[in-house]
Amino acid sequence: MLLIYLMDQPEQLYHPMLVTVTVELVPHMHIVKSVQLQYLLLCSRKIFILGPSHHGASRCSLTLATTYKTPLYDLKIDAQVCQELIYTEKFNWLSMDKDEEEHSIEMQLPYIAKVMEGYQDSFTIIPILIGSLTPAEEAEYGKILAPYMANPQNLFVISSDFCHWGQRFRYTYYDKSYGPIYNSIKNLDQMGMDIIEKLTPSLFTEYLKKYENTICGRHPIGILLQTIQSIKNSGNAQRMTLKFLKYAQSSQCNNMNDSSVSYASASLVIE
């Protein structure tokens, strides 16, 4: 069983909700928003962190580091699992300079360190940097990761922001029927969240093709959905429910010169 705390509701620290959580989807671009949205106190042995590459990678990559440093303590990399993944020949080793440049995984580390502070000697992390993938490639990685996700002692953290809106992001989709631009963005993101909750990979792929929403973690999310699908296909599926818990925008866009980034958090619960 895992203890869940919503960090923006400190009164819940004394009344934790007990459930089994396999996956968290959390934002990475805005550190304050990340804290306000959600982070969970977890009791997991292995924590897989899937974050999108912002530097044009084409496959999935694993760190050469043995530890990741945080202000609290060092997080130990699970070398055995990394080697198991390398043996599949679908993963590359990530150079140290590229590793240090990337922020999508790095932003999760202080929160993991904090909430796991009481368990720092009993867990390891497996950071996986996700490149630009086709749906078929996402399905391949889903099959590889399915046995790990099916293990109740493992946790998956999916690092992703949602819509990056504005001319600086080269994305200005606007459905005027929803009124102000920020409401159009919210509706666009809500459509995506509703589709992700259905746990059907093809629907998410179709949504991205239709609206081109600038969700930077689209491929980590795609792998998540394919991993869930692979578990279901194995015949060992328990009841799995993915629910979005919180949504926010960095600012409210009212004209075409404005810009914003959307943030959302979710948990996949196995009952």
As given in the structure block, the two tokens for residue 3 are: 């203890």
Give the pLDDT band (50/70/90) at residue 16: very low
How far is it, in rounded angstroms, from Cα 31 to Cα 29? 6
Which residues on adjacent β-strands are paired with residue 28?
none
Candidates 99, 110, 137, 146; CA nearest to 218 is 137
For residue 39, pLDDT over 50 is answered with no
How far is it, in rounded angstroms, from Cα 165 to Cα 180? 13
Mean pLDDT of the 157-178 span: 96
% of the chain with per-residue pLDDT over 90: 59
How far is it, in rounded angstroms, from Cα 47 to Cα 21? 12
Phi, psi of 266 (to 5 degrees): -150, 160
How far is it, in rounded angstroms, from Cα 29 to Cα 8? 18
% of the chain with per-residue pLDDT over 70: 82
How far is it, in rounded angstroms, from Cα 166 to Cα 255? 9
Domains of the chain: 19-270 (3.40.830.10)
Mean pLDDT of the chain: 85
How far is it, in rounded angstroms, from Cα 58 to Cα 50? 15
Give whichever of 107-121, 182-196, 221-235 has the largest mean pLDDT: 182-196
How far is it, in rounded angstroms, from Cα 76 to Cα 58? 26
- Where helices occur in the chain by DSSP H, the ranges are 31-37, 79-86, 96-101, 109-115, 135-150, 181-197, 201-211, 218-233
For residue 187, pLDDT over 80 is answered with yes
Least-confidence region, from 18-32, 60-74, 105-119, 190-204: 18-32
Each residue's pLDDT tens digit, 101-119: 888 899 889 888 988 888 8
Give the pLDDT band (50/70/90) at residue 100: confident
Structure-derived torsion over alpha carbons of residues 99, 100, 103, 106, reported in degrees to the nearest 10: 90
Each residue's pLDDT tens digit, 124-146: 999 999 999 999 999 999 999 99
Predicted local distance difference test score (pLDDT) of residue 33? 45
